[in-house]
Chain A
């Protein structure tokens, strides 16, 4: 069987009918430059050697897999395992693509990194990369997220980044992207726009997936070592979809492994209350690519809500839109309440406070464990929850019953 990853996307960045590079003219040459540089460097042994060195000696990779035996006992049924991206330096998977994007920028001779951020995890990771490579860093972030994710704003500033507050529209991730693109164009000659997920125009969905693939490669090997076989189910939360694509990429050619993307169902399935793009979206175009999109009655990108800022996006990576069409990945959802419940459960029973984003994958595993006795579920614990503890405890207390 031909390897899925080698054959997808097409040279123009299409995953089936999704993806592409729908760029306004001023941006076209810059993304072309990035694409060509990535194409060349990803085949260069020097670049790969540098990246390996960084992953091992700076990020602390490989991150382990943990068997969540207490949680498995409580749920009854399947055994639950987690890939510990919370132990990756800066506390989330985002650093995997940020260090690689920083290295790419260095090889391209750029002196500055810039991006949008939702929960601030990507911003922190990119600010870290910028500090490591001695570059400037500019992060655009919605005002609502700035208030909610204050510790990450402090971290970005300590790391030397400039944080630009975005105060229009929903004042969240989507607007941060708009703002960042606008600010990028005049400084594109010296700056790399380092998109924070498998979204945006080609080559980002391909490039970020491949930079995150390390998660899946490690996980597959570690899981085999630990259990002697492959997991039956592999799951991850899906905002833009980078942590999910990274883990799924390691198993996508293993047909016996079922893959499950978990979207945020927010407070209800009514439009505006969730960000479950694949469950409810239609074909559309945003931020330079064709994808599935949550739309209002006029066809415009709809307002979205979820307890997890990092999942708060009305679009989704084009590869996920494609994989939902082919059926290789099953997309489902967990709501705010289930995610919170999982947040408390993993903290109390496994000694790991998960990011609210990752808690959506934990929630799915807890739900499915009951229905799958004797099976194994591997989830991507994409990040730690330190950033969320103030918000959660101030809003919801210290347990589900508070």
Chain B
């Protein structure tokens, strides 16, 4: 059992939906970012996704691309991202941390060395967007062996033929990308997402969390209502980009969390 598995068991027992946030580690700088991350659980966040800054994020929209640029400019690296997770772990041993990013920085570091360091830092799961199931030998299988969940994305275009492959070595939860686009695009509509969630749930016992295109509390509530939870990323990053201080950012997060938890 990872912290992710334990978190879902607990939410299940409470009859609550999971509220998940994504922010870029080190955006706008290490200290501010750490302060925000530390405040997330109290604001109602159940699972924290930390973006691993990468220079060439081909699946992200402008908001997240720019967040990555800010973090890199502030000196963020893979190691500093792990440091940030470790700092957080000093004060919170239950909220799961999922690193989300691209393979190159991990490949450059070396898979074994990375996994050992991630485990040490208290990382519970990985979402590596450019490692499809065909590449499971690279990182997915070694991560599972090391006791770290490997979470995969499914999309509206993941068809019946491909879905079993996507689900096969996935653990922790399944991240359903609700819209056919990149991060930060149009608003997700609960009505069209519900049948998709059902389709995925037919193929797995894992919780299904829906993300991409959720921007407001009502939206979070609607989407969480038809899945096991929801993820908000770009809408929060926008606040950071506007220069809001951690308290302001966390107030906004709390309004979203309250929305999701009403579901």
Could you name 8 residue pairs across A and B whose Cβ atoms are closer than 8 Å? A22-B132, A22-B135, A25-B152, A25-B153, A181-B59, A182-B60, A287-B58, A300-B108
**A-side contacts of B60, CB under 8 Å:** 182
**B-side contacts of A295, CB under 8 Å:** 108
> In chain B, what residue has the closest Cβ to A178?
B56
A228 within 8 A of partner (CB):
no
**A-side contacts of B108, CB under 8 Å:** 282, 284, 295, 298-300
**B-side contacts of A181, CB under 8 Å:** 58-59
Q: Which of B29-37, B99-107, B187-195, B222-230 contacts A (4 or more CB under 8 A)?
A: B99-107
**A-side contacts of B135, CB under 8 Å:** 20, 22
B213 CB to nearest chain A CB (Å): 11
Bound: A25/B135 CA distance, A: 13
- Cβ-defined contact, B59 with A286, below 8 A: no
A113 within 8 A of partner (CB):
no
Bound: A26/B180 CA distance, A: 7
B61 within 8 A of partner (CB):
yes
Q: Which residue numbers of B lie inside 8 Å of A, CB to CB?
A: 54-62, 65-66, 69, 72, 77-79, 102-105, 107-109, 129-132, 134-135, 152-155, 157-159, 162, 166, 177, 180-182, 185
A313 CB to nearest chain B CB (Å): 11
Residues of chain A in range 146-198 having any CB-CB distance to chain B below 8 Å: 168-169, 174, 177-178, 181-182, 185-186, 188
Q: Which residue numbers of A lie inside 8 Å of B, CB to CB?
A: 12, 20-30, 168-169, 174, 177-178, 181-182, 185-186, 188, 282-288, 293, 295, 298-301
- Cβ-defined contact, B132 with A178, below 8 A: no
- Cβ-defined contact, A299 with B104, below 8 A: yes
Bound: A20/B134 CA distance, A: 9
Best-buried of B59, B131, B177 by chain A (most CB within 10 Å):
B59
**A-side contacts of B159, CB under 8 Å:** 29
- Cβ-defined contact, A286 with B65, below 8 A: no
- Cβ-defined contact, A21 with B134, below 8 A: yes
Bound: A37/B103 CA distance, A: 28
Across the interface, B55 reaches (CB within 8 A) one of A169, A185, A186, namely A169
**B-side contacts of A282, CB under 8 Å:** 108
